[in-house]
């Protein structure tokens, strides 16, 4: 009797609720497209609050999460909405997308191994629970990436192969092939690494990753032979004598932008238009580092900033004392920053929010670099380059033949390039820490006899800073 009365009195049926929720959802889409975000969010939130039993509630949550992720750049807020879909609407159409975006955020914002493991578990759960959806290729790519970060290389390669051969038209395949090549190389499968890049260049020649693959192939080709050889790049603009005033540092972005620090400030060596540089205090600049995304950053005595002046890390403190004499910095894929401060005489590690984590206990360290989720530190005596793992644990060192090392760097495949013997020699080690080449600058066959700093680009070309000669030389 009650239901009969309720229908007669005009209480809304489930169909009516769905229609009303659909209209609100359509309105929200119109507002969102017009950039009227507050109006769109109001309609979407009304669906979540008042129409939570309809087929539109999960879609509204997905849209709100997407807004916070892509418009507001607040991934942790977005994570809350995607989690609500998982918890409250597990059978909905939006559930696979929610699983994907949650794992995406966990990967991007991970502070440690457990976050990566949680993201992996979510994606495996998603693939087991749902079929016939549009998110499987993205999930396989994320699983491959997570496997690489967790150093579970067989799983990484397995997921990448499933993606490549199961979804050959997916936009994720070129990036997965780049990743697979690097992982194959780190696993000691050099030929597979080269073949993977070859497939990328052949099958996906129009993709942005194909250009990167050409650069990476130069590294693999060089290391595939019994001897490594380098020739002076006479076209590099920095090699002009006395072009710079006592240059001391060189940094290189993933896109090839070269930054050079000399006595008069920061300069750029590029074939295109140099970027606009805005510095709060030009005299405080001490060098460069590169973001996990490959962006060239400025290192100053008290901060790390983008080229346009926006701070990335500032007000870093150890035991309440602010760092005011930063000489080197590096940022790993967890967005932890490693800072070498002259007052500390050690490497301090901070999380992505700038909170102090620990000192690496390398007294009088002279340089710090990163490769993916690990850090490398040059010891104070210049006799070893110490490796620290993802948990900040000391796991090994490169020391063969190193005497009075001055600087070092790593390429995209984890090969190490060290400037040693007070800058008179360069040693090249592969990722397994084997010496592959030595360049004796004093031999007379090079345009400089002593270098003060070293860097390497995406092709494995070596850049040497000649402070006395006022030049930066490129060897490829």
For the cut 90, the answer to whether the pLDDT of residue 276 exceeds it is: no
For the cut 90, the answer to whether the pLDDT of residue 323 exceeds it is: yes
- Which of 224, 254, 273 corresponds to the end of one domain? 224
**Are residues 29 and 144 located together in one domain of the fold?**
yes
Output the domain CATH number for residue 22. 1.25.40.10
- For residue 254, count other CB atoms closer than 10 A to its CB: 17
% of the chain beyond a pLDDT of 70:
96
1 found inside a domain? no
Q: Are 140 and 157 contacting, i.e. CB atoms less than 8 angstroms apart?
A: no
Q: Are 222 and 436 contacting, i.e. CB atoms less than 8 angstroms apart?
A: no
For the cut 70, the answer to whether the pLDDT of residue 271 exceeds it is: no
283 found inside a domain? yes
pLDDT value of position 10: 46
| Average pLDDT over every residue of 326-348 | 96
For the cut 80, the answer to whether the pLDDT of residue 148 exceeds it is: yes
pLDDT in tens, 410-453: 999 999 999 999 999 999 999 999 999 999 999 878 899 999 99
For the cut 70, the answer to whether the pLDDT of residue 355 exceeds it is: yes
**Are residues 166 and 244 located together in one domain of the fold?**
no
**Are residues 272 and 318 located together in one domain of the fold?**
yes
Alpha-carbon gap, residue 413 to 415, rounded angstroms: 6
**Are residues 275 and 219 located together in one domain of the fold?**
no
DSSP string for residues in 162-214: HHHHH-TT-TTHHHHHHHHHHHHHHTT-HHHHHHHHHHHHHHSTTSHHHHHHH
Handedness of CA 229, 235, 236, 242 (dihedral sign): positive
Alpha-carbon gap, residue 194 to 202, rounded angstroms: 12
How many domains are there within the chain? 2
**Are residues 110 and 165 located together in one domain of the fold?**
yes
pLDDT-based confidence at 8, cuts 50/70/90?
A: very low
Output the domain CATH number for residue 320. 2.120.10.30
Q: 418, 413, 414, 415: which is closest to 399 by C-alpha?
A: 418
pLDDT in tens, 107-146: 999 999 999 999 999 999 999 999 888 999 999 999 999 9
| Average pLDDT over every residue of 150-166 | 97
- Per DSSP, 280 falls in state S
pLDDT value of position 13: 58
| Domain enclosing residue 425, as ranges | 237-475
Alpha-carbon gap, residue 195 to 224, rounded angstroms: 12
**Are residues 393 and 424 located together in one domain of the fold?**
yes
> What is the pTM assigned to this prediction?
0.91
pLDDT-based confidence at 6, cuts 50/70/90?
A: very low
pLDDT value of position 14: 61
pLDDT in tens, 45-71: 999 999 999 999 999 999 999 999 999
């Amino acid at each position: 009797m009650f239901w009969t009365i309720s229908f007669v009195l005009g209480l809304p049926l489930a169909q009516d609720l769905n229609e009303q929720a659909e209209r609100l959802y359509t309105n929200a889409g119109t507002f969102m497209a017009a950039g009227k975000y507050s109006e769109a969010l109001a309609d979407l939130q009304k669906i979540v609050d008042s129409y939570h039993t309809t087929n539109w509630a999960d879609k509204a949550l997905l849209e709100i999460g997407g807004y916070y992720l892509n418009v507001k750049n607040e991934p942790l807020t977005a994570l809350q909405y995607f989690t609500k879909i998982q918890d409250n609407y597990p059978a909905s159409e939006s559930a696979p997308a929610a699983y994907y975006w949650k794992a995406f955020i966990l990967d991007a914002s991970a502070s440690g191994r457990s976050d990566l493991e949680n993201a992996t578990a979510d994606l495996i759960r998603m693939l087991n629970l749902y079929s016939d959806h549009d998110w499987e290729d993205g999930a396989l790519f994320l699983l491959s990436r997570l496997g690489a970060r967790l150093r579970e290389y067989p799983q990484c390669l397995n997921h990448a192969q499933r993606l490549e051969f199961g979804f050959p038209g997916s936009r994720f395949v070129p990036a997965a092939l780049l990743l697979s090549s690097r992982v194959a190389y780190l696993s000691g499968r050099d030929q597979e690494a080269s073949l993977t890049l070859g497939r990328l260049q052949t099958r996906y020649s129009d993709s942005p990753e194909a250009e990167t693959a050409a650069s990476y192939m130069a590294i693999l080709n060089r290391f595939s032979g019994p001897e490594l050889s380098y020739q002076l790049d006479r076209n590099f603009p920095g090699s002009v004598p006395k072009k710079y005033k006592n240059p001391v540092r060189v940094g290189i972005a993933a896109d090839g932008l070269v930054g050079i620090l000399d006595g008069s400030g920061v300069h750029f060596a590029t074939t295109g238009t140099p970027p606009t540089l805005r510095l709060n205090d030009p005299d405080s600049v001490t060098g460069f580092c590169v973001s996990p995304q490959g962006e060239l950053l400025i290192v100053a005595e008290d901060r790390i900033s983008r080229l346009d002046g926006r701070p990335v890390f500032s007000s870093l403190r150890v035991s309440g004392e602010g760092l005011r004499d930063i000489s080197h910095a590096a940022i790993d894929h967890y967005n932890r920053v490693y800072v070498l401060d002259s007052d500390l005489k050690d490497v301090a590690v901070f999380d992505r929010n700038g909170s102090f984590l620990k000192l690496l206990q390398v007294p009088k360290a002279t340089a710090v670099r990163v490769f993916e989720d690990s850090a490398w530190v040059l010891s104070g005596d210049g006799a070893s380059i110490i490796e620290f793992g993802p948990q900040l644990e000391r796991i090994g060192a490169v020391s063969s033949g190193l005497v009075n090392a001055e600087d070092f760097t790593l390429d995209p495949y984890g090969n190490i390039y060290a400037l040693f013997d007070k800058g008179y020699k360069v040693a090249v080690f592969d990722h397994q820490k084997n010496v592959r080449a030595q360049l004796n600058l004093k031999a007379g066959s090079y345009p400089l006899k002593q270098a003060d700093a070293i860097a390497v680009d995406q092709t494995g070309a070596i850049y040497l800073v000649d402070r006395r000669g006022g030049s930066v030389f490129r060897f490829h």
